[in-house]
Amino acid sequence: MRACSSQRTPFAAGADAFRVVLLTLALAVTGAAADSTSTIDATSNYGTWEGWGVSLAWWAAAFGTRTDLADVFFTTKTTTLGSQSLPGLGFTVARYNAGACSWNSYQGSSMVVSPDMIASRQMHGFWLDWASTDTTSSSWNWTADANQVAMMRAAVARGVNKLELFSNSPMWWMCVNHNPSGSNDGSSDNLQSWNYQQHAVYLASVAAYAAKNWGVSFTSVEPFNEPSADWWNGQTGTQEGCHFDVATQAAVIPYMRSELDSRGLTGVIVSASDENTYDEAKATFASLGSTAVAKLGRVNVHGYQYGSGSRDGLYAEVAAAGLALWNSEYGEDDATGAELASNLILDLIWLHPTAWVYWQALDGSGWGLVDGDNDAKTVGAASQKYFVLALFTRHILPGMRILGGGSDNVVAAYDATAHRLAIVAVNWGSAQYINFDLSGFSTPGTSGALVRRWSTLIGTTGAGDQYVARNDTYLSGSKFWSYFATNMAMAFEVDNVVL
């Protein structure tokens, strides 16, 4: 269980020295770590936050009609899920996966299915065959993938305003081996060269249809997913995937831009390349060439390099090109939330994305924020990781300016309209007081005013705080402080702050 965390209130004038004496005596008796101080950098600016989000594949294809799940992930209201009362995560970003599978035959051709394919990861596609590009013809089936579409529309109805259309694989019939899980060796291109443009036609057609018929306006379209990977193997694949050499990516990107433009979707940006790691993303971006880069509106990267990789190097190159940067997919099997907190803080400090997207909102083996089985269609409990993420998603909000937190365990964001400062911090070491210094702000809040705080204990689900709100922290001059148990994560909000 979490150690006692009774909050210290501000001292009267001259009491700080008395506090130091008492704390020194306490340290000698308890052996606790000394205070640390984190000074928030009011002069920093790492971009305007666009939002937190989630991919809709694969969970939404299984649970797309569940309004309680839509409320849990896409609102901030409290929702009952099973025996839990959950604070909504308030995601405002959703990534919709245009599927690659259909089970029809055309001119003697049909989809090839990998022997290890998992059924819930076969995403239904809309373009059934190559007979016609006319989206009103029988070559297209717009009733496919109804559940994922339903969840996307539910997300929009709840306030999601950043939508990305992405592809794990081209439609099966565009693939060299007709297998949307990848090429037969995993490391060679699986998109037929004569279908480079058709892949763009497919995605642009989905975007246009969604705008006209679903009330969904995509912000961006991404034609690739981890394209440099060598594990998209049609012989062993368990999900959709496709390898694209960098030269192929560079050829497809202009087609993507052109096909969007020809449908009047000039405001929809093209993003790329959703590489698996920061280092792969850096290498791919450097090799795309000026023609392809000029067609991009954003660079996407996945966070599967975890605690390694050149986050700062990728950011520097993307920023130099004048492009935005998203961590468009992150996930792991650590249900405690420790890996998520550590890697997310690394991203905000070094990668400087303006949006951050979790992969599987609902899945088993620790991957999901909520435990579940997309094949058996069962829903379990929210993990401790869910409550760790809530500290970030419910307090660092769209429109905020991302600031330097002053330490490697602290992140901060500022709302210029509300004059509110949000801080999220984690204590990985021995129990200690962490002080937060706001002296760099022209107005660091009002001395004596309440600083709202919320706490989650990283660890076994149910064995400590799960996003617990407390009103026991106050600003003393330009500082406030809180006692952190080991592995405690907290969010704070300070009002009446001016840069």
| CA gap 484, 286 in Å, rounded | 43
Residues 6+ apart with CB under 8 A from 261: none
| CA gap 142, 125 in Å, rounded | 9
User: Is 329 labeled as catalytic in the residue annotation?
Assistant: yes
Residues 6+ apart with CB under 8 A from 154: 64, 67, 70, 74
| CA gap 50, 399 in Å, rounded | 6
Any idea what DSSP says for residue 33? Answer: P
CA-based R_g, the chain, Å: 24
Of the residues 222, 275, 280, 329, which is catalytic? 329
| CA gap 161, 152 in Å, rounded | 11
For helices 278-287 and 311-320, angle between their N-to-C axes, nearest 10 degrees? 30
Q: Retrieve residue 129's tokens.
A: 């065959």
| CA gap 432, 27 in Å, rounded | 10
The closest alpha carbon to 272, from 301, 304, 243, 305, belongs to 301
Residues 6+ apart with CB under 8 A from 39: 406, 437, 439, 440
In order, the DSSP letters of 202-237 are HHHHHHHHIIIIIS---SEEE--SSTT-S--BTTT-
| CA gap 76, 96 in Å, rounded | 21
- Residue that is written with structure tokens 């001119």 in the block: 107
In order, the DSSP letters of 66-114 are -HHHHHHHH--SEEEETTEEEE-----EEEEEE--B---EETTEE----
What are the backbone angles phi and psi of residue 65, rounded to the nearest 5°? -100, 5
Beta strands in 458-499 (DSSP E): 468-474, 479-484, 488-494, 497-498
| CA gap 152, 146 in Å, rounded | 10
Q: Retrieve residue 328's tokens.
A: 């468009």
Of the residues 50, 226, 275, 493, which is catalytic? 226
Q: Which residues are catalytic?
A: 226, 329
